[in-house]
Structure 1
Amino acid sequence: MLGTLLKDIRNFIRRLLFKARAKYCKWYRKGWLFWPLKFIWVNYKYVLRTLNYPFADYKKLNQTNRGLGIIAPLLFVLITMFIVGRLTHTEKIPYVKRTYASYDCDVEVLPLTTIGVGERTSLGFNLPCYPDIPMNLMVKGGYGVLVLKDTIANGKLNFELPKAIVQKTGDYEFSLIYGEKELKKFTAEVVTNDDNINFIESYFGPRIILAGGRDYTMLTVAPTDSFDNPMPNGTQIKVNENFKEVQKSHQLEIKDFTAFKRFYSYNKTGKITVSMQSQNGVTTKEKTTDVYPFTPQDFSISHTKEHSFSDGNEVVTFRTSQLKDIYGNVLQNGTMVHFLINTESGKKLTAYAKTVKGIATTKVQHPYEADSWEVQAFVPGLAESNIITIDFKSITIDLPINFKASNRRLIVGPIKSYMGQLVPNGTAVSLHIEGENKDETKVQYTVGGKTEFILRDFYYPNGVYQMNIKALGIQKTKLKKLTDE
């Protein structure tokens, strides 16, 4: 008894150890995820010794050496800071205020109020009581601040302004400086003129407008010189306009850097073409805007067909009259026309067509049974047509039906058309069958004027069924008993 108990305890411990070993192996295989911790754990003593270095034998040192051991790192830090400080040290230059001699005379500026853009210009000063000493000229303009230096010669001072300084139009501020004193300050304007026009920026749009004189497109003009400076107010730009055989000229005047003109549409369709020309001969490419027809007027529709029988084979062709706007312009190609067909049975059919030279044409297949259609066409939201009525007659008056093989073979046909010919292949024939927990509809299509339904006994058990056969608008109902084949 005791031996069995000890054996059970030993097996239980073994199972626990086995499970622990399996779990250990599982986590051991994933140990690479914890490699930093594993490294420290395996090399604990070496890491601890590295952290304690150089005080591993601290207890063996005497009091003096212990003190030096603490002071040594501090001394190392201080020495390092001293060396870095010496390497990065820069001598401070003290500011010494300079004194300049005073001269009592007026500084005269040679007349200069305007400067041509991009031109090399001389700026002169008269300083009769100043000796030959250097002077500074500070220029504030479109490109920021620039300082020029020159020396007085015989009481006169002349600065040459580089072209690059005065490439932007506007007011420039000049200051003549001697030492730290501003002797003279004045302004001059850098200007351009219509002889410098290098390029004419223009915008013409929208590119499509409607005929009738109520819609318009607008031309905006902004001429600039070679430095992209806008032209001053009053600059003249000539605009040439062409529409069909009509040619016109317009004179625009620049105001606030631009000029604009509205071009209203004509009653006819076509292209409005414009081009611009400056007084110094700079021209532009032509720009165009298309004048499209105005909203269409109501129109009429007609139809043609081979016969009036509902054979589901022929097609009816619908055609609109030529669509025009109120000014007599033919609508542009691609205008979408919707045809809506209301049938006598309450169905709604639709067809679509795009105009070609103002006329839209579409085709619709004949119905499969006698019907009457009411047809109307629309240009959605803009115009509509008259309503036409089309009547379709049934192509047959009889639907031959034969039952064979214990009523399990139902043969429909041959179905004959209005001239005694067989109906087209693909004519739909539907069979609705009810009885013995069955209520379903099957649809098949004729080949050679007839079709055959086979009612297998494994799907339709023996019993009485009501069968409704329908084709080409004719319906027949039969009550038949199905027996074993």
Structure 2
Amino acid sequence: MRFKYLYIALFSFLLLSTTVALQTNETSDAYKLLSKKSSYTAGDVIELQFSITGNTDVYLYCSNSYGSVVLNPVTNENRLNFTIPESISKKSGVLNWQLISDTTELAGQVNILPKANIKTIESYLGPPSIEAGGTDFTMLVVIPTDDLDNPLIDSTKVVIKHQFLSNQNASDVFTEHGFGYKNIYSKTKSGRILISSDSFDLNSKEYDVNVVPAIPTNFKINAERIHEYADGNQITTFRTTVIRDRYNNIVSDGTFVTFFITNTKGYKSKTSGTTINGIATAKLVQPDHEDQWTVKAYVEGMANSNTIVLEYKQAVEDYNVVFSKDKRTITIGPLKSFMNQRIPDGLHVQLSIYKNGVLEDESIENSLNGMAKFHLNPDRFSKGNYKLVFTAAGITKTYEDVRYE
């Protein structure tokens, strides 16, 4: 019986000893933050100190907007010292830290403020060109920074200035989340806006924004020509009046204008030009036969002109067709114009050759000294009857049953 009580007493002692040992191990590691300062200026040396009881195998994890780092401590008696690297401590913002050990995790944060002195003003402007009229605008964004490239504290005052024609304006803006901005609207006149900013007597560089004319309004056109005869040689020049926007600004140089020409048969052609000082000019060779042109110009999708009609008189009234003895060399001309002079070089003369009602060949010669000449090769056009059709200056002459041996 005595052994029974002795065994129970011994077992109870061992159980109590084990419980005390476990509690001792669980509470043996203790850490406490000793550093009381929670706000620093960028560039300051930041040290975090902890008191320690127990295991010194700990790490400090630090993270901010610049990046993250894991630090090893410097142990001094019952203290742990952590020095934050300069690459992180020089960046303003919130620095989060976390002490990591096997049994305990502490966490906190440090606020890093930018320096009070300004070093630079970062400026961003866009778009570089806006449309006149008062509805389009450009935006200037400014970021005052210290010598470590940190944005200054919020509510920093920045003066934004802009000049247009004879007017100058200045506006105060205050930074928020590190930057300030100003929308600068166009006026009804075209021109150039000059923009700058300053903060704490530090000035930014000068920017400029082009205020371009708004979309063009309808305009008028006219035509100039040396004469009204259709000689296929002289040039008709089409010209617009000064094209302006709805605010009376002359449109930008290089505005593309297309002139569409419709002849009496309904065929369309076009020529184009770009504006210089608001006027666009385009040219087109006159027809080589009597015709009527209906002309209208467009700035595609924006504006159009009035319609003008040009009459072209027949220049060449008739011409001769002369066959050689074997009929294989054919001379056209002389081709004479409206003053009985020979037509300028380059008038198209076309020959179409048919056999048994089927088109065999078609060729074009340009006039030279008022004459055009065709030669029919015997290897190409063998023995037989052919129909020859000549067309020049809108005049067609047909020769049926031309016999070749």
For 2:323 and 2:62, how far apart are their aligned partners in 1?
A: 110
- CA-CA distance at 1:261 after TM superposition: 1.7
State the Cα distance separating 1:117 from its structure 2 match.
2.0
Change (3 A) 1:117 1:417: same
Say if 1:453 and 1:175 are closer, same or farther in 2 by CA, change over 3 A: closer
Which ranges in structure 1 are unaligned for 5 or more consecutive residues? 1-97, 128-133
Residue in structure 1 matching 2:113, options 174, 182, 191: 191
TM-score, normalisation: structure 2:
0.78
1:218-269 Cα offsets, whole Å, 9 max, x none, are: 1222233233323222121221212222211111111122222211111111
Contact in 2 for aligned 1:436/1:463 (Cα 8 Å): no
Work out which of the residue numbers 153, 172, 181 in structure 2 matches 1:251.
172
Aligned to 1:33: none
Match of 2:183, as an amino acid?
R
Give 2:136's aligned residue: 215
1:115 — aligned with what?
A: 40
Amino acid at match of 1:290: N
The structure 2 residue matched to 1:302, chosen from 222, 235, 242, is: 222
SS in structure 2 of the partner of residue 346 of structure 1: coil
Residue 108 of structure 1: CA displacement? 11
Alignment of 1:313-392 (within 5 A): 313-392=233-312
Deviation (angstroms), 1:370: 0.7
- Contact kept? 2:61, 2:99, Cα under 8 Å: no
Contact 1:401–1:413 (Cα < 8 Å) also in 2: yes
Structure 1 pair 233/345, CA: closer, same or farther in 2 (3 Å)?
same
Could you report, residue by residue, the CA deviation over 1:372-420 in whole angstroms, capped at 9, with x for unpaired residues?
0001111000000001001111112112123331544432211211111
SS of residue matched to 2:142 = strand
Cα shift readout 1:275-320 (whole Å, capped 9, x = no counterpart): 22222x3332222221111010100011110001111110001111
How far has the Cα of 1:163 moved from its partner?
8.3
Task: Say what the alpha-carbon RMSD is for the aligned residues.
Answer: 3.7
Map of 1:55-70 to 2, 5 A cutoff? none
Aligned pair in 2 of structure 1 residues 175, 393: CA closer, same or farther (>3 Å)? closer
Greater CA drift, 440-449 or 350-359: 440-449
1:270 aligns with 2:191: yes
TM-fit CA distance, 1:159: 8.1
Tell me the amino acid that sits aligned with residue 258 of structure 2: H
CA 186–370 in structure 1, closer or farther in 2 if over 3 Å, else same = closer
Seen in structure 2, the aligned counterparts of structure 1 residues 291 and 467 have a Cα distance that, compared at 3 Å, is same
CA distance in 2: counterparts of 1:466 and 1:212, whole angstroms: 68
Percent identical among aligned pairs is 31
Compare the two structures and name the one with the higher strand fraction. Answer: 2
Pick closer, same or farther for the CA change 1:227–1:139 going to 2, 3 Å. farther
Greater gyration radius: 1
2:144 maps to 1:238: no
Deviation at 1:199, TM superposition (A): 2.7
- With over 3 angstroms needed to count, the CA separation of the structure-2 counterparts of 1:455 and 1:110, relative to structure 1, is closer
SS at match of 1:393: strand
Determine the C-alpha separation between the residues in 2 that align with 1:245 and 1:278.
24
Structure 2 portions without partners, runs of 5+ = 1-23
Residue by residue over 1:1-46, the C-alpha shift from the partner in whole angstroms, topping out at 9 and shown as x without a partner, is: xxxxxxxxxxxxxxxxxxxxxxxxxxxxxxxxxxxxxxxxxxxxxx
Query: TM-score, structure 1 length as denominator?
Result: 0.66
Q: Distance in 2 between matches of 1:325 and 1:338?
A: 18
Look up the match of 2:127: 206
Matched, 1:449 2:370: yes
How far apart, CA to CA, are the structure 2 residues paired with 1:188 and 1:462? 108
Aligned pairs, number: 368
- Taking CA–CA contacts closer than 8 Å with sequence separation of 6 or more, which of the two structures ends up with the larger relative contact order? 2
Corresponding residue of 1:169: 92
Q: Is the 8 A contact 1:436 1:461 kept in 2?
A: no
* Greater fraction helix: 1
- Contact 1:428 / 1:443 at 8 angstroms: preserved in 2? yes
Q: What amino acid sits opposite 1:311 in the alignment?
A: D
